Homo-oligomer: A and B are copies of this chain.
Amino acid sequence: MSNEITSLITDTPEERYQLAVQLSRKAISTILPDPESRKKMYPEYIGDARNIAHASEVVAIHFHTISQANDFWKDK
């Protein structure tokens, strides 16, 4: 599975944020497994400001989970 999640433990700050985005996108490919359906929906999804607002919320929830997993990187 190309977008398989192997761990929530990450090193660099950028990795954490990108993992949150990966986790958000993984739901969409799981909910809508057919690539053609996703391709067809993408313009509507990315062109609607309300979806962008909602997608950033999903990233925020995953970023919170990853931050907790990494004890908020207090030691770094």
Contact = CB atoms under 8 A, between A and B. Distances in A.
A22 B76 CA distance: 20
A73 B14 contact: no
Given A7-B76, A50-B51, A52-B32, A59 B13 contact: no
Nearest to A40: B47
Contacts of A61: 57, 60-61, 64
A30 B53 contact: no
B65 A67 contact: yes
A21 B26 CA distance: 10
Interface in A26-76: 26-28, 30-32, 37, 41, 44-65, 67-69, 72-74, 76
